[in-house]
Structure 1
Amino acid sequence: MKDPEFWHNKWASNKIGFHLNEVNPLLIEYWNKTQPALTDRVFVPLCGKTEDLVWLAQRHESVQGVELSQIAVRSFFAEHFYTPTVIPVNGQHELYQFDELSIYTGDFFTAPLEQVDIVYDRAALIALPETMRQAYVERLLSLLTAGGRILLVTLDYCQHEMAGPPFSVSSLEVERLFKEHKVTQLHRDEADETHPKIYKKGLSRFAEEVWLIET
């Protein structure tokens, strides 16, 4: 990952406005579009300490995550009163395991991740600058089994009006990044003038989108 200190500093200073204290409503509404089965192995990249992990673990036998910040991973287990087994891996990572959950700490690009059937990406692609997205998508696709699916959440706004992260990833870019696969837009929520990104940040537009990628 480029500039890992940026994210380490965010967690160390508890500047984590990107973290949701509840399960993402978009996950609840659209997860069934992936046609999930109990035995499907699920992966959540750049997972932080999201509540979505618990929701997914209640529905699947294997949920795998990777997160750069050890603070985030330790906080996740502590806040849920889980006592994980912690295993050092190849000198660069640690694996935290508890029941259905397995979370690697460290770089997404070097973590020894297992093959999965479904990916849930709410905050990974939009956390990466444009120069890293192609490599991220290639690694992500390499982890998917044949017939794998991705539920992807993105943001769309005029990038020059606000510095990321989270970054804007347009529909054209989503289609380009996954051009070899079936891409379906499931949802687009266009913000009105009462949205904080409009009236506080002065953005001319702001939308949240949900995509289903089928490989």
Structure 2
Amino acid sequence: MIDPEFWHNKWASNSIGFHLEDVNPLLVQYWPSTKPTREDKVFVPLCGKSEDLVWLATKHEDVQGVELSNIAVRAFFAEHFYTPMVMPINGHTELFQFDELSIYVGDYFSAPIKPVDIVYDRAALVAMPAEMREQYIARLKNLLNPGARILLVTLDYQQDEMVGPPFSVPESEVMHHFSEFKVTKLYRDEANETHPKIAKQGLTRFAEEVYLIEA
């Protein structure tokens, strides 16, 4: 199991190779597959300081995120020149709120996230080691309103060839975890021999996948 200190140290040392400087093009391309409406409540688990939050907030009136690192959340608001209201929720959680955005700084498993209609998971499930994924998904399912949708981005590689995170979550595991849902694979990008994960780390395969999961 990955200790919370692992992620605190990543942000403290600015070792954030997982952070994208721009909006994820996969979000832009496949968000319409969720059939979103402006009124749909959106949740982004383990959101970091993602630019995706800003993009989603232009399209929805209620976007929630949760992030373990106070450094990441303060950086997000500072970099966008937003001045959020900051409210202590309990001894372990703070809520940063600005217009459509509500970001909880604290533990995903205990933050008081409100039920939602759409989840966008680019960096959460793949950040969880295998022994934590069942618990992560159980919590996620408890946050879903009837008819909710999940846009899930995963990675597929030979796990014994590279130490995560990010971890490999192959299609068979996605189907297992969401067996009671309708699962549609929307995309698979198979890396070629010039990709750094293949060329430099010598992986047998490396692919990014996108799923639409419908309750």
| TM-score (structure 1 length as normaliser) | 0.99
Secondary structure at 1:208's aligned position in 2?
A: strand
Equivalent position SS for 1:163: coil
Partner of 2:102: 102
Quote the residue 1:119 is aligned against. Answer: 119
Other-structure match for 1:18: 18
When the two structures are aligned, how many residues end up with a matched partner? 215
Contact 2:40 2:60 in 1 (8 A): yes
- Offset at 1:2? 4.6
Aligned positions of 1:56-205 closer than 5 A: 56-205=56-205
Instruction: Report Cα offsets for 1:133-184 as digits up to 9, x if no partner.
Output: 0111111011010000000000000000000000000100000000111111
CA RMSD for the aligned pairs? 0.7
Which secondary structure does the structure 2 equivalent of 1:72 belong to? helix
- Residue 44 of structure 1: aligned partner: 44
Structure 1 SS opposite 2:131:
helix
Q: Distance in 1 between matches of 2:3 and 2:29?
A: 34
C-alpha distance in 2 between matches for 1:87 and 1:171: 39
Q: Counterpart amino acid of 2:211?
A: W
Unmatched 5+ stretches in structure 2: none
Secondary structure in structure 2 of the residue aligned to 1:83: coil
Deviation string 1:52-91 (CA, Å, 9 cap, x unpaired) is: 0000000000000000000000000000000000000111
One-letter amino acid matched to 1:146: P
Query: 3-state DSSP class of the match of 2:118?
Result: strand
The answer to whether the 8 Å contact 2:2/2:129 transfers is: no
